[in-house]
Amino acid sequence: MAAVKGEVELARVRYDAATGLVPVVAQDAETGDVLMLAYADREALKRTLATGYAWYYSRSRRAYWRKGATSGNVQRVVEVRVDCDGDAVLYRVVPEGPACHTGEQVCFYRRLVPDGVSSEASKEGGLNPEGAAVRA
C-alpha cells in the first residue's frame, strides 16, 4: 500500500448528512485483497481506533457490530486511513477467517456483467441482502 503522508483526527471525518455514516473498505493488509465494504459512524470508528478490532454500524440492524463477534471471524486492524476529502475510510486488517458471511474469503467474489450475457447458473446465483447483517 502507498506510504502514509500525514494524519487526520477523528473529529474531521465527514459523515453523510442524511445517515451519519461513512463507507468503510476493509482490505487484507497482507494480501491486499479488498474484503468487504460496510459502514461506520463516529462511535464505530472510535471503537475501532480504541480496540484495534474492526467495528462497523449495521444499517439493517441499526446496531454497532464488531466484525466476528458471533462468527469468530474478527478483523485485527493494523491501520485506519481516511481519504482526501474525509468521507471514506479504509481499514487495513489481518482477518481471522473469511470476511464474507457466505464463507468466501472476500465479499467481492463475483464478477459484474452486462444484462443478458450471463449463464443461467449465474442468474440463479443468490444475492444475500440480509445474511451479512445476521451472521457476519
Contacts of 112 (CB under 8 A, 6+ apart): none
Helix (H, G, I), strand (E, B) or coil at 25: strand
Closest contact distance (angstroms) between CB of 64 and a copy of itself is: 17
Chain residues binding a copy of itself by CB under 8 A are: 1-14, 18, 23, 25, 27, 31-34, 36-37, 45-46, 49-50, 79-90, 100-102, 104-119, 121-123, 125, 127-132
Q: Which is nearer to a copy of itself, 21 or 74 (CB)?
A: 21
Distance of alpha carbon 80 from alpha carbon 92, whole angstroms: 6
Please give the angle made by the CA atoms of 96, 99 and 108, to the nearest 5 degrees.
Answer: 145
Q: Which is nearer to a copy of itself, 58 or 74 (CB)?
A: 58
